[in-house]
Amino acid sequence: MATPDQSDPGLDGPSPPFGLHEAERIVRRLVPALQAHGMWIQSVHTALICRTAPADPDADGEAYLRSSLGRWFACESNEFIRGHPDYVAAAAHHREAYARARELYACEASHQAITPEEYLAFSEAAARLDRNLESLIKEVWDLLRHTDPVTGIATRHAMLPRLREEHERVQRTGLTCSVCMVDLDHFKRINDTWGHDAGDAVLEAVSGYLMRNLRRYDQVFRYGGEEFVLMLPNSCLEQAVPIVDRLRRGVDDLAIGFEDRTLGISASFGIAPLLADQPIGVSIKRADEAMYTAKRAGRNRIATWHPGGAVVHGDDASAPASTPSGS
C-alpha cells in the first residue's frame, strides 16, 4: 500500500481552520486596530511635516506594544492566524515601522535633516504591513464567504476546489481517497415537530461532532439541507468503513439539547472512491447512490459503492431493503 504523501500541504490542517463566529471575532477586533494604526501613521506625518510633538515619541522602544494593533498581535489566540505567513510578516513590519518612526523623531529632535532613504524605509515598512494585513483580512473574509452560517463548517462552494486539489494528488501520487455522503435520517420530522430552530440545533451538533472526530487531514463540508460530504484522504473503501462507522455510531449516540428537551438523530452514509481516471462529480454521484442504498436498508447504515451494486455495512446490514417514506 502506498504511504501518505506527508509533504503535501493539503494534509496539514482541518477545513475550515476556524468557524464562522471565530472569524467574525477576528475581523471585529482587527478592523478597529487597523483604523487606529492608520491614525498613528497620520500622526507621524503630521509631527514631521508640521514639526509638532509626536503623540508617543517611543522613548523606550515599546510603543508598538502599547498600540491597538500591537495589542491585537499580542492577544490574538487563533493558531491558524498566528501561524499565517502574513501575520508573522505583518508583526515584524509593525515593529519595524515603529522603529523607523523613532529614528525619524530622533532626527527631528536633534535638528538633523531626514534623508530620503530614512523616510522611504519608514514608508515601505508601513506599506508592507498594510499589504500583509489586507491579504490576511481578505483570506478571513474568503473563509467567511465559504463557511456555512448555521453549522460553521465549509460549504459546498469550498468543497469543490478542495476536492480538485485532492483529485490531482490522487492522480499525481497514486494514493487513495474516499468520498462519503452523509444524510440525516428523518430530519424533516424534527423541523415539522419542533421547528427550524430545532433543526438548526441538530445540524450544528452533528457538524460539530464530525469536525471534532475526523482525523487531522479529513474534511467535512455541508453539501446542502441535511447532507454533508466527508473527504477521507489516504483511505480506500475498506479503510474508510471503520472510520465512518465510528462516526455513524457517535452521531446515533448524540444527545442534542434544545430548549427543555433532548433530541436524537441518526444518519445514513454512502462511500465511494475518488478515482484518478473519473471526474469528481462521478465520485460524488456514486457516494450519493450508496447513501440511498443505506437508506433503503433501514437507515443508520453505511453503504460502499461497487460496480455490481452497493454493499451495506452496519447494524443489521443483512436486513432487506425497504423504500424509505422520507429522508
Identify the band that residue 314 occupies on the pLDDT scale cut at 50, 70 and 90.
low
Same domain, 159 and 111: no
Identify the band that residue 16 occupies on the pLDDT scale cut at 50, 70 and 90.
low
pLDDT value at residue 56: 62
Same domain, 172 and 293: yes
CA angle 82, 88, 94 (to 5 degrees): 115
pLDDT value at residue 27: 84
Same domain, 158 and 214: yes
Which comes out higher in pLDDT, residue 258 or 26? 258
Report, as an integer, the average pLDDT of 18-42. Answer: 85
Task: Read off the pLDDT of residues 200-239 as tens digits, 9 standing for 90 and up.
Answer: 999 999 999 999 999 888 999 999 999 999 999 999 999 9
pLDDT higher than 70, residue 46: yes
CATH of the domain at 106: 1.20.120.30
Same domain, 158 and 116: no
Domain with 237 in it: 154-313
Residue 166 known to be catalytic = no
Catalytic residue among 22, 96, 166, 226: 226
pLDDT higher than 90, residue 192: yes
List C-alpha distances in Å: 134 to 22, 138, 139, 318: 18, 6, 9, 56
Same domain, 67 and 172: no
Q: Is residue 207 part of a domain?
A: yes
Q: Is residue 318 part of a domain?
A: no
- State the chain's mean pLDDT as an integer: 87
pLDDT value at residue 14: 39
pLDDT value at residue 52: 80
Q: Is residue 14 part of a domain?
A: no
